[in-house]
């Protein structure tokens, strides 16, 4: 069924009786060409691009909970392509281009809103670094504008420009960056994959691999054994736990990241503001809530909730740049489990076990990567060759000294 | 917030401490003789356990000493603390 304005109008007049289920609820087949483990954003976009762009349809997505129960439904929805390193920037720009056409591609309203992302700077040194970053963005075909304090004041007069510790001197603006309705992304991809014959199987947890003669030929699940020619792990924060079942150790630790929403307010913020020096970022949702977040909690954990010291830290960051939000009340907060890699960069690669593939290590920045991650993973799965923009995301980069440390912070998750 | 029982100072708030990751990763005796693979294994690969984990913490805003903690990473409950060099508790 195609969605359109006319269809909504017609259904409105005829009692909304003509809507179909968005995806089916199939029982798993005995065997598939490809099994994708994890029905988060990346798993579903992989299934979508496999079936819609690479003509591989005999595919199943196995999700242990419901679609959107993981980080895809927990993140703060920011998209951007403002990276510095040549291993990263072309990939994220490819992703942003896919975002720009996502709603046409999937015929689903994902509320892609290119409202602009601002990165604040506070010193000459930081300004120089942002000029360099902006140039690297432009080289990859992305857009970047450097705003001085006068130009920024016109956009965001309420910022605390005179802050004693971090006076605001300007910002790097990416106009094409913005936000997307996160769970609609999962639903849109799921619907598009389902329409091409992909089986999306919820409440199906993988708890083991069947490996024969060094080749992975299937998975053990709570719904029985399911076989496949290729098995693609895509479980974000659960990567370490799942891959250990195949005896694979990863340069990844799982950490909690929290997000916060204030009570609904009148429109005050029409872009995304990030305050890197204090680690605070914020946007306003269409319902009026301020959506914001900051640092990871900083210790290896699978408890899907965070702790109070970070709450305080994040709120202090907010108060430092936008004192006007001081009287807004916090409505909700929650945590998600991040697959923090040692250098802060992801993996889209084969493993040393034949037929077993790995996608993970997205840290707290994997939402913006959702389309490109799925596209490149689908490319790898369909052709057994990495997509050119993702060819550096290899598991053996730590063996070769080729780490991709975007922030130049060093090799430990709680530094990124 | 959780309370951590520093083996030197006693119970203090979590915000006084910093996590140092998996414990008991032994530094290779002869680093010059390691292959790149073995070196990477030592430096970067982690168990990343969901469940009871042995890990290191440092009392940054206190005595500044390192020590070990046994914590269940699925719910953050701390089961035991012990000093560096001591044998991990078995129960
Ligand atoms: C609070 C917060 C804020 C964030 N903000 C941003 C942001 O502003 N911008 C940005 O780019 N990124 C952001 N991120 C990061 C982003 O959300 C993640 O990197 C990304 O969603 C991870 O990929 P995913 O969608 O596939 O993960 P998930 O949605 O977590 O998908 C993994 C799925 O695998 C399933 N699974 C796990 N184990 C098994 C198993 N054994 N068998 C079957 N299924 C299994 C899980 O149930 C889950 O549904 C944020 C994350 C959090 C938590
Ligand atoms: Zn102490």
Structural domain tally of chain A? 2
Kindly provide the ipTM of the predicted complex, given to two decimals.
Answer: 0.94
User: Are A137 and A217 in a shared domain?
Assistant: no
- The ranges assigned to domains in chain B are 3-83
**Token couple for A236:** 């974000």
pLDDT of residue A407 exceeding 90, the answer is no
Q: Which residue of A has its CA nearest to B48?
A: A253
Task: Fold for B3-83, please state it.
Answer: Folate-binding fold (3.30.2270)
DSSP character at residue B86: S
User: Are A221 and A331 in a shared domain?
Assistant: no
Residue with tokens 């006319």: A6
User: Are A46 and A88 in a shared domain?
Assistant: yes
- Three-state SS for A282-314 is EEECCCCEEEEEEEEEEEECCCCCCCHHHHHHH
User: Are A387 and A291 in a shared domain?
Assistant: no
Quote the pLDDT of residue B2.
86
Quote the pLDDT of residue B90.
81
Residue A335: give its domain's CATH number: 3.30.9.10
Last residue of a domain, one of A317, A341, A365: A341
Is the separation of the CB atoms in A404 and A397 below 8 Å?
A: yes
User: Are A95 and A207 in a shared domain?
Assistant: yes
Is the separation of the CB atoms in A32 and A59 below 8 Å?
A: yes
**Token couple for A121:** 């700077």
Residue A107 CA, ligand 1 centroid: distance in Å? 23
User: Are A164 and A261 in a shared domain?
Assistant: yes
Question: A364 CB less than 6 Å from ligand 1?
Answer: yes
CB-CB under 8 Å, B36 with A401? yes
What does the pLDDT average to over A258-271? 96
CA-angle at A134, arms to A316 and A415, nearest 5°: 45
What does the pLDDT average to over A32-58? 98
Give the 3-state secondary structure of residue A101.
coil
Residue with tokens 């595919």: A59
Query: Which of A279, A367, A368, A370, when mutated, tests ligand 1's pocket best, judged by the most ligand atoms within 8 Å of its CB?
Result: A367
Is the separation of the CB atoms in A237 and A41 below 8 Å?
A: no
Is the separation of the CB atoms in A283 and A326 below 8 Å?
A: no
CB-CB under 8 Å, A399 with B19? no
Residue A54 CA, ligand 1 centroid: distance in Å? 24
User: Are A242 and A302 in a shared domain?
Assistant: no
Chain A: which residues have CB within 8 Å of chain B? 238-241, 244, 249-254, 298-303, 307-309, 342, 398-401, 411-414
Last residue of a domain, one of A291, A317, A341: A341
Last residue of a domain, one of A292, A313, A341: A341
CB A112: neighbour CB atoms within 10 A?
17
Residue with tokens 């206190």: B62
Bridge partners, residue B77, by sequence: B72
Residue A161 CA, ligand 1 centroid: distance in Å? 35
User: Are A351 and A291 in a shared domain?
Assistant: no
DSSP character at residue B3: E
CA-angle at A342, arms to A336 and A347, nearest 5°: 80
User: Are A298 and A396 in a shared domain?
Assistant: no
Shortest alpha-carbon distance between residue B86 and chain A (Å): 22
Q: Range of A310's domain?
A: 117-178+254-341
Instruction: Give CA–CA dist A179/A292, Å, rounded.
Output: 12
pLDDT tens column, A77-119: 999 999 999 999 999 999 999 999 999 999 999 999 999 999 9
CB burial readout A135-158, b (16+ within 10 A) else e: ebbeebebbbebbeeeebeeebee
pLDDT tens column, A51-83: 999 999 999 999 999 999 999 999 999 999 999
Is the separation of the CB atoms in A267 and A284 below 8 Å?
A: yes
Residues of A in contact with B36 (CB under 8 A): 399-401
Quote the pLDDT of residue A319.
96
User: Are A188 and A241 in a shared domain?
Assistant: yes
pTM for this prediction: 0.96
Instruction: Give CA–CA dist A25/A52, Å, rounded.
Output: 20
């Amino acid at each position: 069924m195609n969605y359109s304005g006319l269809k909504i109008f017609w259904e409105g007049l005829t009692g909304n009786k003509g809507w179909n289920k968005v995806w089916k609820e199939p029982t798993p087949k005995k065997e598939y060409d490809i099994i994708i483990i994890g029905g988060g954003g990346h798993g579903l976009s992989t299934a979508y691009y496999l079936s819609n762009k690479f003509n591989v349809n005999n595919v199943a997505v196995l999700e242990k909970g419901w679609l959107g129960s993981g980080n895809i439904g927990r993140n703060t929805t920011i998209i951007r392509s403002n990276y510095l390193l040549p291993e990263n920037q072309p990939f994220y720009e490819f992703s942003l281009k896919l975002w720009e056409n996502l709603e046409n591609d999937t015929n689903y309203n994902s509320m892609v809103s290119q409202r602009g992302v601002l990165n604040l700077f506070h010193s000459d040194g930081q300004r120089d670094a942002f000029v360099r970053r902006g140039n690297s963005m432009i080289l990859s075909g992305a857009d970047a504008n450097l705003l001085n304090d006068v130009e920024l004041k016109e956009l965001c007069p309420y910022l605390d420009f005179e802050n004693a510790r971090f006076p605001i001197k300007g910002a790097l603006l990416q106009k094409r960056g913005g936000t997307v309705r996160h769970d609609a992304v999962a639903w849109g991809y799921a619907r598009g994959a389902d329409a091409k014959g992909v089986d999306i199987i919820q409440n199906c947890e993988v708890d083991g691999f069947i490996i024969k003669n060094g080749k992975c030929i299937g998975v053990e699940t709570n719904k029985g054994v399911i076989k496949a020619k290729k098995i693609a792990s895509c479980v974000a924060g659960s990567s370490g736990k799942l891959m250990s079942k195949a005896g694979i150790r990863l340069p990844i630790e799982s950490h909690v990241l929290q997000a916060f929403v204030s009570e609904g307010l009148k429109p005050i913020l029409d872009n995304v503001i990030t305050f890197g020096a204090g680690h605070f970022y914020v946007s306003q949702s269409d319902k009026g809530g301020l959506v914001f977040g900051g640092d990871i909690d900083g210790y290896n954990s699978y408890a899907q909730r965070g702790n109070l010291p970070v709450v305080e830290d994040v709120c202090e960051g907010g108060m430092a740049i936008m004192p006007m939000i001081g009287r807004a009340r916090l409505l909700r907060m929650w945590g998600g489990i991040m697959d923090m890699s040692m250098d802060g960069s992801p993996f889209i690669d084969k493993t040393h076990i034949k037929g077993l593939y790995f996608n993970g290590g997205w840290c707290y920045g994997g939402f913006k990567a959702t389309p490109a991650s799925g596209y490149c993973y689908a490319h790898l799965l369909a052709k057994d060759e990495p997509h050119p923009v993702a060819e550096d995301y290899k598991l053996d980069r730590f063996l070769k000294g080729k780490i991709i440390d975007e922030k130049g912070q060093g090799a430990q998750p709680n530094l990124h | 917030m959780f309370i951590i029982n520093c083996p030197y100072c006693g119970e203090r708030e979590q915000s006084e401490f910093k996590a140092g990751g998996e414990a008991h990763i032994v530094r290779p005796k002869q680093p010059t003789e390691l292959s790149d693979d073995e070196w990477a294994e030592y430096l970067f690969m982690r168990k990343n356990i969901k469940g009871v984990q042995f890990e290191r913490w440092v009392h940054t805003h206190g005595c500044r000493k390192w020590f070990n903690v046994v914590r269940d990473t699925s719910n953050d409950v701390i089961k035991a603390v012990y000093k560096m060099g001591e044998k991990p508790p078995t129960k």
